[in-house]
Amino acid sequence: APASSFTLSFSAPPPLSLSLPSLPSPTLSLCIPSPLPSLLPLPLPPVPPPFSLPSPLSLYPVPPPRPPGLSLSPVRPACSSSLSFFLSLLSCIMSTGGDVGEGGDSLLRVAAHVGLQALTAGSNFACSPVSLRAALGLVAVGSSGRTLQQLLSFLGFPHDLAVNDPRLAAGRAVVASTHRPVGGEEDEKTHVSLVSGVWLDATLTMNQAFKEIATSIHQADAKSVDFLNKALEVRSDINTWVEEGTNGVIRDFLPVGSVTDGTKLVIANALYFRGKWETPFDSSLTFDSEFHLLGGGSVRAPFMTTTPNKLMSMSSFEDGLKVLRLRYDVDPIDYSIRVALLERYRDWEDGDKACLEIDAELRRLQKIFSMYVFLPRERDGLQRLAEEVSSDPSFVHRHRPTQVFRARTLMLPRFGASWGTFDFSGDLRDLGLPLLFSGQAELHRLTSDASEVGLSAVLHRATVKVDEKGTMAAAATGTELMGCSMFEDPQDEFVADHPFLFVITEDHSGQVLFYGHVVNPLFE
């Protein structure tokens, strides 16, 4: 191996250890047999002798960030008919020069808060809290002072968290261990990937430390571009990046006029998720039925259903709320590696040399992705339900199904949830990030010319479609009561024939990938 790197191979789960001589910046590569990834490069911090490390010092929490050697570009399926579930999300933060104008689970609260506005407008809605979180995590890496403290608090981290802590790239925990080649086969399991990008105007200098953290931990592309003279060309390049990152679903995301010669910074990320239901619906059983609209009236929509006595996970609560869980198909076992540095001193035959002992642990970790459908008892009960989530995001996690039984009836409409481009900056400012949009954001870790950079907008656009095989969805984020009518419903039935709320989560971490509601399943 080169003098600056060492390779450790094993064919069975550890414990194991490896001694390394002192190096300015050594790299440890764990070579793991199939079916695990073949190579996981793990950068170690510079530790000149004598060593002075806490014991143990975790390089990153389980699960680890995606290995730099793996491609992050979403792979298109061989044919559209093989696509059972597809979710594509993008978050992007834009900044302009000078002052800016008005515009756990803080981000779920933000999503629910904006969802209430969509509900008032009579629209279906979709948003990605984890995508917004990933974008704000990158902003935190470039922040300092009170701005950083506010961001850390908003994201649920301690105020003394280091900006190079991998927890700021929490969204990567969702995709670690689930990134797989997409072959377009009908039996293909869940596929998740996350890509990020940073575009800084060439008149400013990106701090090297920010660039290294962004590229190594957040796996982001960091580029210097000419907004001043080539704004239209840069906008086109970013839109192409968005289109590729969302597998072609989001096109022309940044509209004409959104990127100008005054733009200084664009930060973006795209989360791509696709798979199929663990138990697909039989399309031959789909039939048209009435879907009751808010405030009265109805439409006929295609409803997916199952044969009687199918096992399903559902819970009913005291207020009449029913919650259905639909799992997505995943590989049964995924793995992650935890590596800790321990302070050790050993004698080598050629003299006394300080060295490191690396303790590696192979852990079994299963990713579980599910959609939860929250159906209020009242046909006009969506408003109250959405307000409940907006005021208390933990409501979503506390109302997950705990029962599995044979259902007499299951009816869920095919639906599409779409939300036009919307500026989230006002909601983020009102719900915990006033400094970020005050024109006085401290972004000194991003660029030494931070006085010229201020956040101007957080734009978001989302689309989701659900059918018998699963879901197809895309979202993009960019930073540049009514009367109630009651109905009787047996406990062993789930009939979603009126407006409902849905979330898509990774159940192991509890992260909400997607949040939305449906007021009319015929809306695109």
Instruction: State the CB neighbour count (10 A cutoff) for residue 62.
Output: 14
Strand segments, DSSP code E, in 252-366 are 263-274, 287-292, 298-305, 310-316, 322-327, 334-348, 351-365
Burial 111-146 (b: 16+ CB within 10 A, else e): bbbbbbebbeeebbbbbbbbbbbbbbbbbbbbbbee
Residue 70's pLDDT is 28
pLDDT value at position 345?
Answer: 35
Q: Tens digits of per-residue pLDDT, 323-333?
A: 999 988 876 54
- pLDDT, tens digit, 9 for 90 and up, residues 393-440: 999 999 988 777 777 889 999 998 877 777 888 899 999 999 988 878
Whether the CB-CB separation of 480 and 254 falls below 8 Å is answered with yes
Give the C-alpha separation, 103 to 308, whole Å.
Answer: 51
Q: Which tens digits make up the pLDDT trace of 175-224?
A: 554 444 333 444 456 666 667 888 889 988 999 999 999 888 888 888 99
pLDDT digits (tens, 9 = 90+) for 243-290: 887 777 778 878 788 888 888 888 877 666 676 888 889 999 999 999
pLDDT band at 147; cut points 50, 70, 90: very high
Question: CB-based burial of residue 403 (10 Å sphere; 0-12 exposed, 13-18 middle, 19+ buried)?
Answer: exposed
Answer yes or no: CATH 2.40.50.140 is held by domain 284-330+367-414+485-518: no
Higher local confidence (pLDDT), 332 or 59: 332
Please give the average per-residue pLDDT across 460-466, as a whole number: 72
Parse the chain into domains and list their residue ranges.
5-70+338-365, 83-276+416-478, 284-330+367-414+485-518
User: From edge to edge, which strands make up the β-sheet containing 125-127?
Assistant: 125-127, 511-518, 500-506, 369-375, 322-327, 310-316, 404-407
**CA gap 7, 27 in Å, rounded:** 9
Confidence grade of residue 92 (pLDDT, cut at 50, 70, 90):
low
Residue 235 or 364, more confident = 235
Q: Above 90 in pLDDT, residue 366?
A: no
pLDDT value, residue 294: 94
Under 8 Å CB-to-CB from 398, ≥6 apart: which residues?
none
Q: Report the mean per-residue pLDDT for the chain.
A: 70
pLDDT at residue 413 in the model: 96
State mean pLDDT over 119-141: 89
Q: Is the pLDDT of residue 338 over 80?
A: no
Q: Do domains 83-276+416-478 and 284-330+367-414+485-518 have the same CATH topology?
A: no
For 308-333, the DSSP string reads TTEEEEEEE-TTS-EEEEEEBP--S-
pLDDT value of residue 407: 75
- Over residues 104-124, the mean pLDDT reads 91
pLDDT of amino acid 508: 78
**Cβ-Cβ contacts under 8 Å for 218 (sequence gap 6 or more):** 65, 134, 137, 138, 141, 168, 169, 172, 196
- Domain 83-276+416-478 homologous superfamily, CATH: Antithrombin, subunit I, domain 2 (3.30.497.10)
**Higher pLDDT, residue 90 or 151:** 151
Of 322-326, 352-356, 457-461, which range is least confident?
352-356
